[in-house]
Structure 1
Amino acid sequence: MNPERAGDVFVVVAPRGATDAADRLFLAIAASWVLGLDPRSVRIARFCPHCGGQDHGRPLVAVSPGGRSGSSTARLAAAGSPPACGPLHVSLSRAGGSVALALTLIGPVGVDIESVDATSRGGFDEVAFGPAEHAALAETASEDAAGVRARLWTAKEAALKCTGDGLRVDPRDLTVSLPGGGCGGSPRLHAWRGARVPVDAIRLHGFAPGPGLVGTVAVLAEGTPAAGTLSADGPTVRVVPAADIRRQPSRRA
């Protein structure tokens, strides 16, 4: 059992792999690290809830028979709290030369990282934001606007990933706010027109993935034991150095 105290959500940011398969292999190794399993027993599958396809869609952790061990919840059981249970939920996002992973037992998770420059291109606001967010951006100091815009957008993307909707949903149907004028605190999802789940069950937390990038994690905690324990500021996020994951024993792709 790993003696380190674990947060609610693990986030790993690393250089982007040369291929999609390389990033998914890294996600599988990270999942084995969290679960305390032999990396050779864990792989990342895919499933699309809309068409049933297995060559695209949400990443899923698949564990080979016999791969589980008594330490499988060790890294996600905080001191003084009940042992974690249930499947490990994962998400992956890429931006520029970076890849971000999110892993948790709380419930479905979504992670999104974006380049501040990418969300500042012309016409972006018109397809990404609703009236309340346009008003917030109009009141934001010009030197802060690019960062606020990226934080609003990653919050929407992360929320849509954690529910499995993705950009099949018009992002303007979601309304996100940023405490402190966008300069501090985690984003909050205030409304979602046509949402299939309770809006207050989706909790968001921002993190810093690296220079020029903005990141947000979203967790759907509806109906889970952890739902009542999450604060208004979202899940506790623990950023794990990529080197800790890469020290896992090697495995063939």
Structure 2
Amino acid sequence: MNPDRAGDVVVVVGARRTTDAADRLLLAATAAWVLGVAPHSVQIERSCPHCGGRDHGRPQVALSFETGTETGTGTGHLTASRPLHVSLSRAGGVVALALTFLGPVGVDVETLAAVSRAGFDAVAFGTAELAALAGVPSADAVAARAQLWTAKEAALKCTGDGLRVDPRDLTVALPGSDGPGNPGLTAWRGSAFPVDALRLRGFEPGAGLVGTVAVLAEDGFAADGPTVRVVPAADIRR
């Protein structure tokens, strides 16, 4: 990977394309940009861990390669010892992509309007989260609600569970009130891994939107990691 593009997690935010296929092409181009390989050598495949379907499920990077005597395809990449993990989310007119070598990743963006629907809190949040929201000033309540929700969605994408898991099984803590911070996963009923193995990081996807990345590091995290670098979609074309 080009060191100028380094970062624990690269997040790319851009205008949503007119079709899902076009958004996946953007993800493939971004993966090629991160890896430093030709765009035509990268494809985005999908695989559902539950039914094995190839028309849905989490996206995966697949590289075509060519040597002097053979051609083929494979997951992962040619420039590092571990695969590039990717995730994609759409909300309003924005698409957000997350890419990292650390381990499975999930990204979620949501509009503030979407989390303001009547009855949303009752199906999205548990007792501890509802209590925390009750203590948030009214001017900040919608943004706090979106932080909690995107954190849950990102975590469920990261593990591949999606909304097969009741989001109320996850408990997310809001960032501290004493300055900038990130939400934290504090409990997950029935989880097969310790919750501190999954880290959440917020990012700014644009006006009226909230974004969160979740990473499950295969070898743990550096102190205060992971770091997130947000890149405009236009930059990957350069």
Indicate conservation of the 8 Å contact 1:89/1:109, yes or no.
Answer: yes
Deviation at 1:97, TM superposition (A): 0.5
What is the alpha-carbon distance in structure 2 between the residues aligned to residue 182 and residue 218 of structure 1?
23
What is the alpha-carbon distance in structure 1 between the residues aligned to residue 112 and residue 127 of structure 2?
21
What is the alpha-carbon distance in structure 2 between the residues aligned to residue 230 and residue 21 of structure 1?
37
Partner of 2:150: 154
Amino acid at match of 2:222: T
What is the alpha-carbon distance in structure 1 between the residues aligned to residue 164 and residue 41 of structure 2?
33
Partner of 1:19: 19
Partner of 2:228: 237
Indicate conservation of the 8 Å contact 2:170/2:188, yes or no.
Answer: yes
What is the alpha-carbon distance in structure 2 between the residues aligned to residue 122 and residue 4 of structure 1?
45
Deviation at 1:198, TM superposition (A): 1.8
What CA deviation, in whole Å up to 9, does each residue of 1:163-215 have, x standing for no partner? Answer: 00000000000000012249730010000001122211100100000000000
- The one of 158, 167, 172 equivalent to 1:171 is 167
Deviation at 1:65, TM superposition (A): 2.3
Amino acid at match of 2:164: R
Indicate conservation of the 8 Å contact 2:13/2:97, yes or no.
Answer: yes
- TM-score normalised by the chain length of structure 2: 0.92
Indicate conservation of the 8 Å contact 1:130/1:175, yes or no.
Answer: yes
Matches within 5 A, 1:180-219: 180-181=176-177, 184-219=180-215
Helix, strand or coil at the partner of 1:102 = strand
Instruction: Give the stretch that moved more between structures: 89-98 or 189-198.
Output: 189-198
Indicate conservation of the 8 Å contact 2:172/2:187, yes or no.
Answer: yes
What CA deviation, in whole Å up to 9, does each residue of 1:117-150 have, x standing for no partner? Answer: 1101110000000000000011111000000000
Pairing 1:59–2:59 present: yes
What CA deviation, in whole Å up to 9, does each residue of 1:219-245 have, x standing for no partner? Answer: 001x42xx14152xx410001121111
Partner of 1:250: none
Indicate conservation of the 8 Å contact 1:36/1:72, yes or no.
Answer: no
What is the alpha-carbon distance in structure 2 between the residues aligned to residue 175 and residue 59 of structure 1?
26
Instruction: Give the stretch that moved more between structures: 125-134 or 192-201.
Output: 192-201
Indicate conservation of the 8 Å contact 1:154/1:214, yes or no.
Answer: yes
Instruction: Return closer, same or farther for 1:182/1:146 CA change in 2, 3 Å cut-off.
Output: farther
CA RMSD of aligned residues (A): 1.8
What CA deviation, in whole Å up to 9, does each residue of 1:31-52 have, x standing for no partner? Answer: 0000000000000000000000
Matches within 5 A, 1:1-253: 2-4=2-4, 6-66=6-66, 73=79, 85-181=81-177, 184-221=180-217, 223-224=218-219, 227-231=220-224, 234-247=225-238
Partner of 1:78: none
Instruction: Return closer, same or farther for 1:183/1:125 CA change in 2, 3 Å cut-off.
Output: farther
Partner of 2:70: none
Helix, strand or coil at the partner of 1:40 = helix
What is the alpha-carbon distance in structure 2 between the residues aligned to residue 3 and residue 65 of structure 1?
22
What CA deviation, in whole Å up to 9, does each residue of 1:87-111 have, x standing for no partner? Answer: 0000000000000000000000000
Deviation at 1:5, TM superposition (A): 5.7
- TM-score normalised by the chain length of structure 1: 0.87
What is the alpha-carbon distance in structure 2 between the residues aligned to residue 40 and residue 230 of structure 1?
37
Instruction: Give the stretch that moved more between structures: 234-243 or 178-187.
Output: 178-187
More strand by share: 2
Tell me the percent identity.
70
| Count of equivalent residues | 230
Helix, strand or coil at the partner of 2:83 = coil
